[in-house]
Amino acid sequence: VAGLSSPPAADPLAMIDAALAAGARWRVTGLPGVRQHGDAQRAFWASVREATQGHWVTVQPVSPIAPWLVLEPDSPGALLWITNDALYINVQGQSWRAPVDAARLADWQTQVARW
């Protein structure tokens, strides 16, 4: 149909990629200190990118529960949450959701717990 086109798929992870390249660190809820973006974090992040690419949709902000991961410093900063069937990200005040299967979400949680 003329005049109808779909907008390009948004990539909320691009701002996080830039922050990581500039030296941002991860804070894991429930674990002390912050983690540099080293080999374990790069493997995790590559898996997140692969699993969610092209699946992000904007959503209302996530309910006020503690985020799973926090990217620091908070410029741009990012918050990540996991539910039973999705990964949620808030970057610069915008919230996004990507569906992810439960097995992969559990694997990510295991990986991050070892940081």
pLDDT confidence of residue 77: 75
pLDDT, averaged across the chain: 86
pLDDT confidence of residue 110: 95
Give the amino acid at 12.
P
Spatial separation of the C-alpha atoms in residues 59 and 63, rounded to whole Å: 11
Spatial separation of the C-alpha atoms in residues 24 and 37, rounded to whole Å: 7
Both tokens assigned to 36: 């540099």
**Per-residue pLDDT tens for 13-29?**
988 898 899 999 999 99
Local structure of residue 60 (DSSP, 8 states): S
Q: Bigger pLDDT: 77 or 34?
A: 34
Full-model pTM: 0.83
Bridge partners of 70, per DSSP, are 27, 79
In this prediction, residue 64 has a pLDDT band, given cuts at 50, 70 and 90, of: low
